[in-house]
Structure 1
């Protein structure tokens, strides 16, 4: 990378990094809105077209897998073409595909729109997008801002899932899909107009760097004119020689299985199986989002101060314990124990993200960490896709989700054990 001169200028009251962070948060929320809506839209689509749970779960699984697999390549493409161009195109793609679902008539169209197109579009706005923005625009408070970006998934649920559930119940699922499409297109315009790729594009330093100094802010060896696919594969081959990479891949695979794959996709249908109205279940899932905002931001703050391996061990172990209780808590009415589950699972939902990103940065360096985390995140969504399909198959075969909860709990306990196998690197918290 080359040294880029920056202007000293007069100190600003509000660093532009926070404006970029706000726009990034909006884009992440727009992507999360679609992913949180699938659990509500599954049943009305099944009733209208006569499709079974395996069909709709399969489309969701394809979406989750492609959402994850697109992440490392999206990270490399962002280095090549710029974040603003890639994210704007992705938001437009998601918006148009969401609107197109309102006129679909066959299962293959659901798989094409939900699975393929929206999967790739939202994959370009995966958490790796937030990680790259945090690495470029922030030095101070990097862990905290990563936590804020990670909470965007929960914010999408918090703001829009109850609206989608109400719209689906009172109007139709097509109106709900239209809301998602319109939101994506609107945020796409905001990104195109107001987002800035790098601090140096405006003659600035990242937030937290003293004025008057030069900072490496170029595309580096992983950007420039190189083929993004080659870059992504090269980083994969280099990183895969180390156990830390595989440990992060395995644990994040479990994270995806137990969150996006199981709870986000199947909590509303599972609650409905026990007689709970879909709107009530959607509000409970939205409450998970409320507490996840607090939990993930707190996790980002802790990541700046506590061993990331210890945080991950606690998150996975406690998540496994909570999953063992959920089947007994589902009922037509919300029981007191369900409130405890909602609060705890919300605090733990994506609290794993900030320490996982920190370990990628500590073990593989600041420059490569975006693409490395892209691959780790890909495993997260492969786990989510497999978890969604397995849970759907278990529900179709047995008529209940009981076995699905237990399997996810056991996987979380295994992930907690793997966290301790990640080696400690003294002094690795200092970025290269």
Structure 2
């Protein structure tokens, strides 16, 4: 079916995907807001609440490569629409929970799987399918939806949690994701050819990569098997493990609770994360622009090294609003600026068709790192009564990722494994 705007309809697709990613980002940021309200409502300790967040983060990442493969065989529109419905149902059901296992089942398992299908692999798949020109910039913009989701949802969720309790927070997330499912179904064609178009910036004789043979599950593992024989894959996997450890897992899950240890309200602490979201919107978009022009390995080195330094410094500040605001600005600019150069390196090394699936496995490393930090920081806080050790250790992992990034071999022939 023909759609308006010609090749520019790719930007309508990008906007639709941006909204879906924004909703998933709001869902994934909610456990940080829910931590203190759930402690007050049920008496659950920090380690128990962190466990559910860790399960959700881990499954969010583990779902990625299978979701990318499903998008190749089952379809992007079907996969994303069903994932949004699963997110709506799981978060809605959590409003009835009374036991910790129910929180793990709804927000950990079901919401983790649902949001994992509406994650960075979706952005990579859509960008590779709908754009030939400006891929880095568009990947930066779609990645920035995570920051925008934090910016839009977090202060409102924190205000709701502080004044009305945790249930309005989960019902809000359920409502937003339920509304977006039919929007995606209506506005997201499967491929440019389905509306008589070629990808944005593609020449007239453009030929899309062939669809993979076999089932989604088998193809995901076949692609992993080929990628795992390369040094590029493991270095990117290591870097993204650290990326998740230092962002979603540590800061995203525990910063509000850490600020609470210093007497700061949830709403005010959530405002700091929202400020990070605002500056990450700028930083990640700029990173996409830079990725189109400069060596992505050197960009990753700078991002990881500066991130590690900021995490080590934070616990030794006075935690005044000035020092925390400076941290929020600096850390926000670097929050997930790593995604565009990582996607670029994966696509260059593994090709347009397999690149998103390989990136899905790399993104699984991101969430494995995030889950590790979420549970470890919670355990350390329960044992030591402070977050100092967790932040310093995370900072040193940033330096390790920076060094690993420079060891990646640059592949400039899309389609070949290297």
TM-score by shorter chain over 0.5 = yes
- 2:45 matched to 1:52? yes
Alignment map for 1:178-327 (pairs within 5 Å): 178-210=171-203, 213-217=204-208, 219-220=210-211, 222=212, 226-327=214-315
Q: Secondary structure at the match of 1:276?
A: coil
* TM-score, normalised relative to structure 1: 0.94
* TM-score, normalised relative to structure 2: 0.97
> Structure 1 268/330 Cα, relative in aligned 2: closer, same or farther at 3 Å?
farther
| Inter-partner Cα distance in structure 2 for 1:351 and 1:218 | 28
After superposition, give the CA deviation of every residue in 1:81-126 in whole Å (9 maximum; x if it has no partner).
Answer: 1100110000011011111111101111011001100000001111
- The equivalent of 2:76 in structure 1 is 83
| Inter-partner Cα distance in structure 2 for 1:428 and 1:194 | 33
Contact 1:91 1:185 in 2 (8 A): yes
- 2:394 matched to 1:403? no
| Inter-partner Cα distance in structure 2 for 1:85 and 1:232 | 18
Which of 157, 166, 170 pairs up with 1:164? 157
- The equivalent of 2:120 in structure 1 is 127
Q: Secondary structure at the match of 2:229?
A: coil
- The equivalent of 2:380 in structure 1 is 394
What displacement does 1:375 show? 0.3
| Inter-partner Cα distance in structure 1 for 2:272 and 2:416 | 40
What displacement does 1:412 show? 0.3
Alignment map for 1:30-179 (pairs within 5 Å): 30-179=23-172
Q: Which runs of 5+ in 2 are unaligned?
A: none
Contact 1:316 1:413 in 2 (8 A): yes
Which structure's residues are more often helix, by fraction? 2
What displacement does 1:330 show? 5.6
Aligned positions, number: 417
Which of 315, 321, 325 pairs up with 1:339? 325
Contact 2:7 2:199 in 1 (8 A): no
After superposition, give the CA deviation of every residue in 1:107-159 in whole Å (9 maximum; x if it has no partner).
Answer: 11011001100000001111000100000000111100000111111000001
| Inter-partner Cα distance in structure 2 for 1:128 and 1:264 | 20
Contact 1:198 1:217 in 2 (8 A): no
> Structure 1 51/338 Cα, relative in aligned 2: closer, same or farther at 3 Å?
same
| Inter-partner Cα distance in structure 2 for 1:136 and 1:355 | 18
| Inter-partner Cα distance in structure 1 for 2:209 and 2:362 | 24
Contact 2:147 2:281 in 1 (8 A): yes
After superposition, give the CA deviation of every residue in 1:309-338 in whole Å (9 maximum; x if it has no partner).
Answer: 00000000000110012113363x41x222
| Inter-partner Cα distance in structure 2 for 1:301 and 1:240 | 29
| Inter-partner Cα distance in structure 2 for 1:77 and 1:217 | 18
> Structure 1 247/99 Cα, relative in aligned 2: closer, same or farther at 3 Å?
same
